[in-house]
Amino acid sequence: MDIIYNSTAYPLIILPILVFLARIMDVSIGTLRIIFVAKGLKGLAAVLGFFESLIWLLAVTQVMQNLTSWQTYIAFAFGFASGNYVGILLEERIALGNLLIRVITRKEANELVHVLWNAGYGVTSIDAQGETGPVKVIFSVVKRKKLTKIIAIIKKYNPQAFYTIEDMRYVTGNYHPPIVKRTLLPQFALKKRK
């Protein structure tokens, strides 16, 4: 270990890489922590805050001990920028929480509403008046992990629909999708038996 630490490559290459990786870790954790705070996940945010500050202290200590190394400064700053990006990617992957999807459609949207119901989404639809005439407003609260599926349904059945998506901090109550009876017999066999 002393051979690596005392080598000429350590302050020029190894230390900047270590600082860079530490900054990616602490800023990624910090990004997740902020998102967890916004979602009201206090326990997770506290644990992440501990590790974020510990890693940050280790990185800053190395920078302060090597004030003549401009490579370490660059690695510190580049690690910060990369950590923001990585943190957002991680949060998108985890996809915690619920979203409110509001769809406004100019044409009749009964088919879209029924397809969403049949796909297991809770849907509330109301008639409304828009700038160009009557519209249908559809609301649905979905898990973030299901966002791409519901957007694909909206685009398939009403490609001209206007929709907005909002993060939701708390959701009370539950929508239970209808239970679909499953059978092992094919549908045509059921019709023949009748």
- For the chain, the domain total comes to 2
**Residue matched to tokens 């326990």:** 43
Alpha-carbon dihedral sign for residues 142, 148, 153, 154: positive
Query: What are phi and psi for residue 105, nearest 5 degrees?
Result: -125, 140
The mean pLDDT value for 145-152 works out to 91
Give 47's pLDDT tier (boundaries 50, 70, 90). very high
pLDDT digits (tens, 9 = 90+) for 86-142: 999 998 888 888 899 999 998 778 899 999 988 888 899 999 988 888 899 999 999
| Cut 0.85: pTM above it | no
Domain that residue 23 falls in: 2-94
Give 44's pLDDT tier (boundaries 50, 70, 90). very high
Please check whether residue 60 is in contact with residue 117, taking contact to mean a CB–CB distance below 8 angstroms. no
Q: Report the half-sphere exposure of 68 (CA within 13 A, side-chain side).
A: 1
Identify the domain boundary among 72, 94, 116. Answer: 94
Give 182's pLDDT tier (boundaries 50, 70, 90). very low
pLDDT of residue 175: 59
- Supply the CATH number for residue 114's domain: 3.30.70.120
pLDDT of residue 96: 80
The mean pLDDT value for 6-33 works out to 87
Mean pLDDT score across all residues of the chain: 84
Identify the domain boundary among 45, 72, 94. Answer: 94
Asked if residue 186 is part of any domain, the answer here is no
Identify the domain boundary among 62, 94, 126. Answer: 94
Note whether 46 and 102 are same-domain residues.
no
Note whether 90 and 136 are same-domain residues.
no
**Residue matched to tokens 């599926």:** 149
Asked if residue 187 is part of any domain, the answer here is no
CA distance 175 to 188: 32
Query: Which tokens in the block code for residue 164?
Result: 């907005």
